[in-house]
Amino acid sequence: MKKPEPSGPEPLGDILARLFAARGFGRKQDRLRLERAFEASIDEEYKAHARPLNIRRGVLEIEVRSAVLMQELAQFHKRKLLESLRKNLQGITLNDLRFKAGVW
């Protein structure tokens, strides 16, 4: 048999945390943080041609407008970009970058 929940005021922090989770504010803030870190990390010449998609299991997926640019980023700029992103996204585990061609 379950014990009844204690009655009384609930901490405001708990209420706000549930509200933010229900409304998706945490995800929006995470997305904004990722986009800002990406903008600060990638070279100016590539900003209009690449965008971050999401982070899954420590791998950031980046969509790139062309296969040629995708190969250039993956072969020549990946290590520098990864190091810069790690610096700009402190507190988030980032192990690798995965590039994929896309159109937007």
Structural domain contains residue 78: yes
Structural domain contains residue 69: yes
Structural domain contains residue 41: yes
* Number of structural domains in the chain: 1
Predicted TM-score (pTM) of this structure: 0.73
Sequence-distant (≥ 6) Cβ neighbours of residue 61 within 8 angstroms: 52, 53, 54, 55, 98, 99, 100
CATH number (domain holding residue 70): 3.30.300.180
Query: At 9, which amino acid appears?
Result: P
Helix H or strand E segment including 23: helix 12-23
Length reported for the chain: 104
Structural domain contains residue 8: no
Query: Are 41 and 73 in contact, with CB atoms under 8 Å apart?
Result: no
Structural domain contains residue 16: no
Q: Give the range of the structural domain holding residue 97, as residue numbers without chain letter.
A: 28-101
Q: pLDDT, tens digit, for every residue of 44-81?
A: 999 999 999 999 999 999 999 999 999 999 999 999 99
Measured distance CA(11)–CA(37) in Å, rounded: 33
Query: Are 61 and 53 in contact, with CB atoms under 8 Å apart?
Result: yes
Structural domain contains residue 14: no
Structural domain contains residue 37: yes
Structural domain contains residue 6: no
Higher pLDDT among residues 37 and 27, named by residue: 37
Task: Average the pLDDT over 12-16 and give the result.
Answer: 74
CA angle 45, 43, 84 (to 5 degrees): 165
Higher pLDDT among residues 18 and 78, named by residue: 78
Q: What is the mean pLDDT of the chain?
A: 87
